[in-house]
Structure 1
Amino acid sequence: MLQCFTDCAQNNSSSSNNNSVDKNSKYQEDIEFSKQELNHGIEVLAEKIRNIDDHSIVVLTGAGLSTASGIPDFRTPGKGLFVNGSLEKFNLPDPMAIFDSDYFQTNPEPFFELTRDFVTTGYKPSKAHYFLKLLEKKNKLLRLYTQNIDGLETKSGISKELLVNCHGMYDTAKCQHCKKEYLLPTVIEKLGTDKDVKIPKCDDCGNVIKPDIVMYSDDLPEKYFSCLKDDLKTTPKCQLFICIGTSLSVMPVCRMPYFIPEGATRVLINRERCGVFTHIKSPVREIHEKHKHLDLFLGGKTMTIDQAIEKLAKALGWKSELNALVKKGPIDLLKQSQ
């Protein structure tokens, strides 16, 4: 299924409720740490997870989390969502117009052309997805915020009350006119299997059915703001904030690391340093007068997300439990929706 398409959106202010991009957001690539440095960072993180209170870990995930599942993100060279040439026939004013609400109203076909394969292909959660479920089983997870709409967090078994789909999800849809609701199996059936995708239409009024995902200029779900207030602002319970596979560029979600309570630990598991982690010089940046948080960066060129997760699970003594979850396999969302 489709990833966090808003990684390439246009900018808006930090106070905005919609999924625009922060112009000030930067990321640094081509960083390489020694195995010894990275292993030290893994041990520091493992120790934090062991010793923090129950229900005190907040996780934010982005497109990079699911690349190990075979789903390309927008920045993967030669593998991005727009390199297969299937959209050239539409003469789009801009590739990202596909995810613009106004453009969808006038021409929904490119959106469904791009997304049909993602909703009909049986992508499975990665080890990193199952590790997040393991955090829940260990009573460590307070909340999982995901920018992805691929449903892999749900497939891994994360409880609905702990999951915030910041940009919505493809498992439900509504008619744009009469608001009749549809579930994923019906939407997939309406998309058809012919070479040319069919635009799903409402059975009652014949208007276009739109999946319940957040497009550009749409407001984020109310659950995002209410949980953010509870988890990080009003009575902050977060002691450990982990970002995985995100560019930390999409507003307002990219501002979340700034709301973490003073003294808490912030972690980025990613290929590139980005956001508040842009200038980190080593896997571990200790708390000092300027930086009020212990910051960890795990990844870079040396270690993929799943490799970092495997090492972390081993350091925690959770390797066998993680492998058991992977072996058990995903929840079938199509059956769950019926």
Structure 2
Amino acid sequence: GAHSTLDDAVRLLSTARSVVVVSGAGISVSAGIPDFRSANGVYQMVEERFNLPDPQALFDIHYFANDPLPFFAFAKNIYPGVFQPTRCHRFIRALEARGRLLRNYTQNIDTLEKVTGIRRKVTCHGSFETASCLACKRTVSCDEIRPQIASGEVPRCGQCEHHLGILKPDIVFFGESLGEGFERHIQRDLPRCDALVVVGSSMRVQPVAAIPAMLP
């Protein structure tokens, strides 16, 4: 059943052996990563600057292919390298270090799980960790395109003919399918899970919104 008090949570976690943690944007706000949807958030800033049809166009693969500049203006604000993990990230890592973390399903794209050293993770919406060329599919690390993103340019693939291929960070956009990892892990993990912890997420976005209902 659901546990509502801090004491309940401590009691549950002290006995749980196979914890699934679902984490969302809320756990990274104290790291200084701007909230997408707040009144003065990144969405609003980019939407006003580029006159987007709606904020979600920022993550629409068809809009991106036609005009990638708004997305890269957004990416500059949350690009990995300057942000440090929060207590929440360290808590998830501590669960893992004690052999109690079955999996961390994160909705975040900021790579702070990797910085913290969390290995048993599924990045449900992809992340900035790598970028792939839309034309030739070559993959590069986030460090390789950092200079272009910092200077507000669209990163291009050096191996493509005429260098025309855009290097798009490996974040799942609207209009793109989720990686196979989510389905594969969730089917294996949920029957073994003895505690589900949701932190920093309103659980409104699929696929993680469906996780509680999938518990046996």
Structure-1-length-normalised TM-score: 0.60
Structure 1 counterpart SS, 2:192: coil
Contact 1:87–1:114, Cα closer than 8 Å, also in 2: no
Identity %: 37
Query: Which of 65, 76, 91 is equivalent to 1:116?
Result: 76
Kindly report the root-mean-square deviation, in angstroms, between the aligned alpha carbons of the 2 structures. Answer: 1.7
Bigger helix share: 2
Map 1:134-213; keep pairs closer than 5 Å: 134-159=94-119, 162-193=120-151, 197-205=152-160, 206=163, 207-213=165-171
Alignment of 1:92 onto 2:52: yes
| Aligned equivalent of 1:125, options 85, 105, 127 | 85
1:250 to 202, 205, 214: 205
Output the amino acid matched with 1:237. Answer: R
Q: CA deviation at 1:215?
A: 0.4
State the Cα distance separating 1:121 from its structure 2 match.
5.3
Q: Read off the aligned partner of 2:153 and give its amino acid letter.
A: K
Aligned length: 211
The separation in 2 between residues aligned to 1:72 and 1:211, in whole angstroms, is: 18
Residues 1:158 and 1:120: Cα distance change in structure 2 (over 3 Å): closer
Structure 1, unmatched stretches of 5+, are: 1-37, 262-338
Distance 1:75 1:180, change over 3 A: closer
Amino acid at match of 2:204: S
Separation in 2, partners of 1:86, 1:121: 21
Per the TM alignment, residue 74 of structure 1 is displaced from its structure 2 partner at its CA by 3.0
Q: Which runs of 4+ in 1 moved over 6 A?
A: none
Matched, 1:69 2:31: yes
1:208-219 superposed matches below 5 A: 208-219=166-177
Q: Whose radius of gyration is greater, 1 or 2?
A: 1
Distance in 1 separating the partners of 2:80 and 2:6: 36
In the TM superposition, what whole-angstrom CA distance separates every residue of 1:20-54 from its partner, at most 9, and x where no partner exists?
A: xxxxxxxxxxxxxxxxxx9x8111211112223x3
Q: Secondary structure at the match of 1:128?
A: helix
Q: Deviations over 1:115-153 (max 9, x none)?
A: 113115511111011000011111111000000000111
Which residue is 1:60 aligned to?
22
Do structure 1's residue 47 and structure 2's residue 11 form an aligned pair?
yes
Give 5+ residue unaligned stretches, structure 2: none
Aligned to 1:231: 189
> How do residues 306-321 of structure 1 correspond to structure 2 at under 5 angstroms?
none
TM-score (norm 2): 0.92
**CA 1:198–1:126: 2 relative to 1, 3 Å:** same
